[in-house]
Structure 1
């Protein structure tokens, strides 16, 4: 009998738990450790913050889902690893400390925004690194929208998260224009480099910039934030950018508490160092995947921090770990980039394909963005459940009042 403990119920962790739970022998155990009660797909956190997320159809309860898919949900947060005892140290919601034994441990906690030690950023900015933070952000934005007058929102970082958040808030703002009591938002999207989506092809950045300007978003390029105050930000040039609410969505790193946890090797971004098999460099019984892991691909190339990379690593490790439990050898994870899709509002998206040689845009590509989420649902819940959710979503859009 083997016990696999998976820490983190994000896209990668949940997919791994679901596949393993349905495929391992009945005498084996799969335990998913996460402090939340429900799963939210991280690429849609910006929708939660903007109040456009469908909580009824697009969330998943770990407890009931685990019962149907062969794993058990343990509500709690990892705080340490006792490697010699093969125990995970967990903080429970009531504040008590517990220990969870494991034979194989998989860490898939994702990453958080990197504030680059900017003074005041942690104290005065909102982050979208967890469902709790996204929900808290919506409470503040909802209050702001109801306050009337001209209001401003600063968003630092014009990568996918910052761009999607800015576009979603702009659409909400436009939808409230007929309401005389609603606030009018000025959205400042602040980027330290010379273009939005700085890690994407130039043509993709250009198309994204055009759409942001169409949504009346104030894009501020080559603008580096030196400090953050309660009611605004100060740039390295001494400019003050005032705002009622401020978001930080620039850069990523693994949480500080993960660095060298249990004596494991990590890098300067707090990511756990693993082999190409996804096993940690210092312990063959501990694995890591997703944005919290530094996964090599040979010749100094690392797997990029993308949702699709985490999903594919989860599917790979599910097969490889199942084989290991049956006496086979682990297999290396080989990542092939399938491009990227960035949503700009509900009716437009931009995508790269064919090794960034082809740039596509428009309403059809926005449907492709939704399809990626549906494929995630298919992996964790099956084709039948995914199909029922799609039908329910369509019917809800048709019959619910505006």
Structure 2
């Protein structure tokens, strides 16, 4: 019998670290044949999409090329989009790849597996709100973040030339909405340094719309209150307890009948797993398309299929809740899955159950501040942090992600290279 075929669908915060660990531990020694499938050719860490959207970072410099990374870490990369699953035959089907002109580059393909790991992440949930898909922007992918940046920079150019106000309305007071609101203010202040003399933050109107009684509803009231105060000090208009009924070309219409008008509309409210999961053979799912999994992360009734990250509905022992859809959850699941595959393939041991450990949550308010809670062992509780320390810890989360992909020596080299880039490149991506 040959090496076990492990197929991972999705190269995000869970899938890419997983194939990296498996490649180094099993692929390098020909103990497993590991393949990663993703619809993109590069990886950009999703928690940074709001920075890509405003030009705060250049995604081309931070991106991981899957093919190059695969060569260095002993796995294979297959471009493609999952369209169907045959769990009995243990195969998946990938859609054809077309170029910009609609010409076929690669045909529909069928890939076999011995073990399948679904790591498809999540996307915004518009709850079928009328007009949202037609008129609002999303930040679920690199392409969508690039589209926002293009429209944002054009809107800034127009506002500067016409000496008019610039307005943005964001639905969703979770981490993405809060961070994007702060980054927009920072981007406008930076654009004044690059020829937009008439563009001023005093002319910027950013609306943050949240249906819950407060922003950051999944975090503590202290974190939410601090973030709310910081946003208002920047000039962000925070609308809590405000339900959006529909979107129009340049406005969100709320339940009270009022319109919140803006040149740019952004939808960052709610999440659901990828729509394709609702169509796959033999999987149990919840109402937001997440795959129901056992504590071992195996899909219910499917011992050869696993799900990790945002697309997995993994129960928390002793609770009626599931593991929250966060980058840290996906990373922990990736580490656990890698160890479980080692147990299974190298030592023929049973799979161990996954235990989620909440390390806390941090929210970035751009260069201005960060706030959050860290889970600690001091008195068995957690503690609130803000300011410079919170900002440094927020940045360190990304460095830990890079270290998982590259190792610490290369990560430190990237850090030094980034410092040099700041000396010769604009502080904002201007195109």
State if a TM-score over 0.5 links the two structures. yes
Runs of at least 5 residues in structure 1 that lack an aligned partner in the other structure? none
**Residue 7 of structure 1: which of 2, 6, 9 is its match?**
9
The 1:260/1:55 distance shift into structure 2, 3 A limit, reads: closer
The more displaced of 181-190 and 26-35 is 181-190
Secondary structure at the aligned position of 1:233 is classed as strand
The offset of 1:189, in angstroms, is: 0.5
Matched, 1:363 2:388: yes
Q: How does 1:154-173 map to 2 (within 5 A)?
A: 154-173=169-188
Q: TM-score, normalised by structure 2?
A: 0.90
Q: How does 1:35-54 map to 2 (within 5 A)?
A: 35-54=39-58
What is the rounded CA distance, in whole Å, between the counterparts of 1:68 and 1:255 in structure 2? 29
The offset of 1:185, in angstroms, is: 2.9
What is the rounded CA distance, in whole Å, between the counterparts of 2:384 and 2:40 in structure 1? 37
The offset of 1:347, in angstroms, is: 4.0
Q: 1:136 aligns to what?
A: 147
What is the rounded CA distance, in whole Å, between the counterparts of 1:298 and 1:27 in structure 2? 32
Q: TM-score, normalised by structure 1?
A: 0.96
Aligned residues of 1:10 and 1:110 also touching (Cα < 8 A): yes
Q: How does 1:176-255 map to 2 (within 5 A)?
A: 176-177=191-192, 179-180=196-197, 182=199, 184-255=203-274
Q: CA RMSD in A?
A: 1.5
Q: Deviations over 1:160-191 (max 9, x none)?
A: 00000111011111223462354843111101
Q: 2:418 aligns to what?
A: 393
Q: How many aligned residue pairs are there?
A: 402
The 1:271/1:128 distance shift into structure 2, 3 A limit, reads: same
Matched, 1:331 2:335: no
Q: 1:72 aligns to what?
A: 76
Runs of at least 5 residues in structure 2 that lack an aligned partner in the other structure? 99-103
What is the rounded CA distance, in whole Å, between the counterparts of 2:326 and 2:139 in structure 1? 16
Q: How does 1:318-357 map to 2 (within 5 A)?
A: 318-326=338-346, 327-354=348-375, 357=382
Q: 1:87 aligns to what?
A: 91
The more displaced of 390-399 and 117-126 is 390-399
The 1:146/1:296 distance shift into structure 2, 3 A limit, reads: same
Aligned residues of 1:154 and 1:246 also touching (Cα < 8 A): yes
Secondary structure at the aligned position of 1:147 is classed as helix
The 1:105/1:401 distance shift into structure 2, 3 A limit, reads: closer
Q: 2:101 aligns to what?
A: none
Q: How does 1:264-279 map to 2 (within 5 A)?
A: 264-279=283-298
The offset of 1:294, in angstroms, is: 0.1
Aligned residues of 2:84 and 2:279 also touching (Cα < 8 A): no
